[in-house]
């Protein structure tokens, strides 16, 4: 079941491609404003986590408190795929935040925005941190 959810999550890559390659396209802007791709991933995750809870209860939550417990959870292929859906969803949320924020304020040029979106897709928080640093620098240099 979780593997099937993981397989159909790949559709959300279309959202990344549009944000990165066609940021000014009207359809890209529409999709970014609706949040359809991260809502889609969140729905897949919800189906997955509800399935896990329905099948085994909430006992896995006890493993969150130790590194050994987390490793044990991630050694289960279904749980690892479910965690990956979780990561994909949040990376998509952060990517959409960057896209909407930068399209509104233009802290970075569009080619740099595309590079930063790719960094978020591949390295999540690292790409977001770079964007926040650039944005803070640009805001501090802006005349008031």
Look at the block and give the residue holding tokens 């969150």.
64
d(CA 17, CA 95): 11
Q: With CA atoms as reference, report the closest residue to 5 among 65, 62, 45, 57.
A: 45
pLDDT of residue 141: 87
pLDDT of residue 86: 96
Rg of the chain in Å (alpha carbons): 18
Residues 61, 64, 68, 70, Cα dihedral to 10°? 90
| pTM assigned to the model | 0.90
d(CA 116, CA 108): 10
Contact predicate 91/120, CB 8 Å:
yes
d(CA 18, CA 33): 13
Q: pLDDT tens, position by position, for the chain (144 residues)?
A: 889 999 999 999 999 999 999 999 999 999 999 999 999 999 999 999 999 999 989 988 988 999 999 999 999 999 999 999 999 999 999 999 999 999 999 999 999 999 999 999 999 999 999 999 999 999 998 776
């Amino acid at each position: 079941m979780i593997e099937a959810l993981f397989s159909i999550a790949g559709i959300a890559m279309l959202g990344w491609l549009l944000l990165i390659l066609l940021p000014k396209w009207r359809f890209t802007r529409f999709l970014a404003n609706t949040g359809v791709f991260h809502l889609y991933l969140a729905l897949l995750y919800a189906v997955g986590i509800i399935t896990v809870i329905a099948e085994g209860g909430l006992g896995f939550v006890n493993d969150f408190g130790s590194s050994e417990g987390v490793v044990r959870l991630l050694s289960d292929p279904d749980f690892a795929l479910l965690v990956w859906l979780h990561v994909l969803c949040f990376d998509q949320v952060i990517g959409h935040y960057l896209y909407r924020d930068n399209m509104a304020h233009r802290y970075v040029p569009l080619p740099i925005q595309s590079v930063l979106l790719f960094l978020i897709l591949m390295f999540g928080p690292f790409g977001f941190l770079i964007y926040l640093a650039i944005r803070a620098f640009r805001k501090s240099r802006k005349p008031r």
